[in-house]
Amino acid sequence: MNRHLYTLLFHFGLPLVAGRLAWRAWQAPAYAKRIGERFAFGLPALKPGGIWLHAVSVGESIAAAPLVRELLARYPQLPITITCMTPTGSERIQAMFGGPEYAGRVQHCYLPYDLPWAAARFLERVQPTLAVIMETELWPNHIHQCAARGIPVALANARLSERSARGYARFAKLTAPMLAELDLIAVQTALEAERFRSLGARPECVEVTGSIKFDLTIDPALLTRAQRPVWIAASTHAGEDEIVLAAHRQLLGQHPDALLILVPRHPERFNAVFDLCQRQGFGTRRRSTGEAVEAADQVLLGDTMGELLFLYALADIAFVGGSLVANGGHNLLEPAALGKPVLSGPHLFNFLEIAAQLRAAGALSETADADGLSQRIAQLWREPETAQAMRAAGLAVMQANQGALARLLAGLGRLINPQP
């Protein structure tokens, strides 16, 4: 299948796209808003020129934040347009870059669907001098429209699993020309670099830079400690909250003053998780109320956006969700960078390399159920020397892998200011 056939099938599939959007809007009403942007209609006022950066959803947006800040510092004359595909990603982008200090410098909208006319309308409005795509969000028409206009395209912090590579290989007539139009593919590992080359990327455009997620900087003001045993279960998905609450109930039997900070991954689940906590009899405080946590509170529901690092910092121990269910896990490095012992479930296929490094260093502990989770947390509270060893191991892994952001910025700099 080549790009023209792909485009034709995409047009035929628009009713299915509309149906899926309606279904998601039924689950999360935010999907019913700003639909025009998904077809490059009704875009907000956007200052043309500068850098266009695409981060598909929440995780990519968080990973891109240090890159955006460095680009703003290095190229103050260039506006940065950040796009995403999901309401949660949009909310996170606005939470991170909606402050007055970013006004006129960072702008945001949804990325239109990968239709040539929608991609063309978007690029005519934004007119970027550089396009940066986070990780592996590859859209043939957007990339081709950039190439046709002479806009260099970089794939940043790129990942490509063996399974994904096999999938792309089945559509070689579509994949190979698309990858050949990329001007920089900054990959996390040498193995992934070889996969990109074998699929058709130009060898001279593929560079191993490492993962920029290791280049996370932490405000020292965050490093505070509560006066009671506190643990956090962050980025939880449906099916995990019940396990987490069961573990917390067991911990309360040993530590009656223990506090769980429970942070669902998606905002549309905030109310349902709050109701679950109340039905199960936990004294629950919503972070969004702004009220102080009291001694009788057993659960603090993290129902705000942009505060995850702050909430991580309040805890002694961090459990990272999306891992007790087969979702593939979420970013393990944020709690590690804050010096927290990191716990997870067994499903970490989205972060295999990072999980392997943390596991080998002794910074990550995995468990599959409520009993195992509560036992491990109780052990870490009981054995502060074990918790300290995990903290030190996590920080050592972070420090050993830093430098990817600088290498990526060097590559992007060559595209922004090409040498004659």
Nearest to 271 by CA among 301, 296, 227: 301
316 touches 335 (CB < 8 A): no
Name the active-site residue from 60, 91, 135, 192. Answer: 60
251 touches 262 (CB < 8 A): no
48 touches 124 (CB < 8 A): no
161 touches 80 (CB < 8 A): no
409 touches 154 (CB < 8 A): no
**Residue holding tokens 């922004």?**
416
b/e 1-36 (16+ beta carbons within 10 angstroms → b): eebeebbeebeeeeeeeeeeeeebeeeeebbeeeee
3-state secondary structure of 14: helix
The neighbour count for residue 55, using CB atoms within 10 Å, is 30
H or E element that contains 84: strand 80-84
Distance CA 318, CA 332 (A): 9
The verdict on whether 294 is a catalytic residue reads no
Find all residues with CB under 8 Å of 93, minimum gap 6, and list them: 55, 61, 82, 84, 108
Q: What are phi and psi of 108, to 5 degrees?
A: -145, 145
Q: What single letter denotes the amino acid at residue 93?
A: I
114 touches 178 (CB < 8 A): no
Per DSSP, the chain holds a count of helices (H) and strands (E) of: 17, 14
67 touches 156 (CB < 8 A): yes
DSSP 8-state symbol, 291: P
Positions marked active-site = 60
